[in-house]
Amino acid sequence: MTSALSPQEKAIALKLAKESIRYGLESGKPLLVDISSLPENLQHTRASFVTLHKHGQLRGCIGSIIPTRPLALDISHNAFAAAFQDPRFPPVQADELDDLNIEISVLSMPEPLEFTSETDLLEKIRPGIDGLILKEGPYSGTFLPSVWEQIPDKREFLRQLKRKAGLPADYWSPTIRVFRYTTDSFSQPD
């Protein structure tokens, strides 16, 4: 198991994310990161999400659920994508850069939840702790643990996750699969 990031590693990760957005403004591409000079924890293959807020409002959020590349590269790519490729928002402009608050969430490996019914599933969900991935056929969606701040009720959290996945809020099927993960989340000090 990879250890949690140290305060110094978190500061490096946040700097990388901001530099990738700045580089993206100039080049239209994510920052290329030389991981060999970075701390070992940032070289490990891990998944991350980068969330951008501007004046307290969501401005972009893109991430990876499954680890496929070194964490530093994942953060660089996701910061760029959150700034310029989140379909819910127009691309970030240069005059917004200093107003962005960057939050990085480093994910644990998703683990499948075993359940026999929706009630059983609801009993196993840990509010404030679990990020969830819901899959049903071609439909899938995820909520980071931070979403509990906006949707603290387990039943409503699951209903909204189904809607995000493209399913009706009251949908249920015995073939639904749910995975949980935790995050180590951090952002720039205000």
pTM: 0.88
d(CA 19, CA 35): 14
Kindly state which CATH superfamily the domain 7-107 is placed in: Hypothetical protein ph0010; domain 1 (3.30.700.20)
- Residue 17 to residues 4, 78, 140, Cα–Cα distance (Å): 18, 8, 26
Tell me the domain boundaries of the chain. 7-107, 111-182
Please, which residues bridge with residue 140 across strands? 135
d(CA 72, CA 12): 9
Query: What string of DSSP letters covers the chain?
Result: -PPPPPHHHHHHHHHHHHHHHHHHHHHSSPPP--GGGS-HHHHSB-EEEEEEEETTEEEEEEE-SS--SBHHHHHHHHHHHHHHT-TTSPPP-GGGGGGEEEEEEEEPPPEEPP-SSHHHHHHH--TTT-EEEEEETTEEEEE-GGGGGT---HHHHHHHHHHHTTS-TT---TT-EEEEE-EEEEE---
pLDDT at 1 over 60: no
Residue 142 has a CB neighbour count (10 Å cut-off) of: 20
pLDDT digits (tens, 9 = 90+) for 101-114: 999 999 999 999 99
> What is the reported pLDDT for 150?
93
d(CA 62, CA 48): 9
Q: Quick one: how far is CA 2 from the chain centroid?
A: 18
Which architecture, in CATH terms, is 111-182?
A: 2-Layer Sandwich (3.30)
Q: Quick one: how far is CA 174 from the chain centroid?
A: 27
> What is the reported pLDDT for 2?
55
The single-letter code of the amino acid at 45 is T
Q: Shortest CA distance to 164 belongs to which of 175, 150, 174?
A: 150
> What is the reported pLDDT for 190?
60
Q: Shortest CA distance to 66 belongs to which of 146, 140, 155?
A: 140
pLDDT digits (tens, 9 = 90+) for 114-173: 999 999 999 999 999 999 999 999 999 999 999 999 999 999 999 999 999 999 999 999
pLDDT digits (tens, 9 = 90+) for 36-87: 999 999 999 999 999 999 999 999 999 999 999 999 999 999 999 999 999 9
